[in-house]
């Protein structure tokens, strides 16, 4: 079970809306959803919590790149919603986009097929290694809420009911409860 909400900061304070993440497939989709919640390009926070196992915060400030914090990357990696947040950049991995095209044998020769088998074996080992490289514990920008009153230390200490505690620190707990 998960809970996801958008908190948009406006001139009148925080406005909350619950959000369904079923149609969100990428971080870019999530950032677009957040931007739609604030047409004035104000700060929008996407708060995601899954069964007190992990929580994530995505901060979108206008057209800037989203900032991300995930409390436990290993737990989030086991969740389809967590996978949206765990980008290669966040995990410190180099994307292997070009390698996949290099491994393809487009001419169909026997020499190429032999090389492809070797490459596939190597790629399989690499994929297993990358799954293991997801760290246990927090990843991302721990200073994501610092200017809003939640310090890095406070954020790292949050465990159960993290979304509620964040909302309380922001002065938005009543607003968040309207969508919970």
d(CA 48, CA 147): 20
146-168 pLDDT, tens digit per residue, is: 999 999 999 999 978 899 999 99
Separation between Cα atoms, residue 144 and residue 46, nearest integer Å: 12
Residue with tokens 């809970």: 3
What is the reported pLDDT for 122?
43
> How does residue 9 score in pLDDT terms, banded at 50, 70 and 90?
very high
Residue 96: exposure state from Cβ atoms within 10 A (0-12, 13-18, ≥19): middle
* DSSP labels, 50-109: ETTTEEEEEEEETTSPPEEEES-HHHHHTSHHHHHH--HHHHTPPP-HHHHHHH---S--
């Amino acid at each position: 079970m998960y809970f996801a909400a958008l908190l948009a900061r406006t001139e009148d304070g925080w406005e909350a809306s619950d959000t369904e993440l079923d149609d969100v497939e990428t971080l870019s989709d999530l950032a677009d959803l957040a931007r739609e919640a604030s047409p004035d390009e104000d700060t929008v926070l996407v708060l995601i919590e899954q069964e007190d196992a992990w929580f994530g915060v995505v901060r979108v400030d206008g057209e800037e790149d989203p900032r991300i914090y995930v409390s436990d990357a290993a737990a989030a990696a086991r969740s389809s919603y967590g996978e949206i947040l765990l980008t290669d950049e966040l995990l410190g991995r180099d994307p292997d986009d070009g390698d996949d095209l290099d491994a393809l044998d487009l001419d169909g020769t026997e020499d190429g097929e032999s090389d492809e088998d070797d490459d596939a074996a190597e790629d399989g080992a690499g994929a297993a290694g990358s799954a293991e490289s997801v760290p246990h514990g927090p990843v991302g920008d721990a200073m994501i809420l610092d200017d809003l009153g939640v310090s890095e230390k406070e954020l790292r200490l949050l465990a159960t009911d993290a979304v509620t505690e964040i909302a309380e620190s922001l002065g938005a707990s009543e607003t968040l409860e309207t969508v919970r």
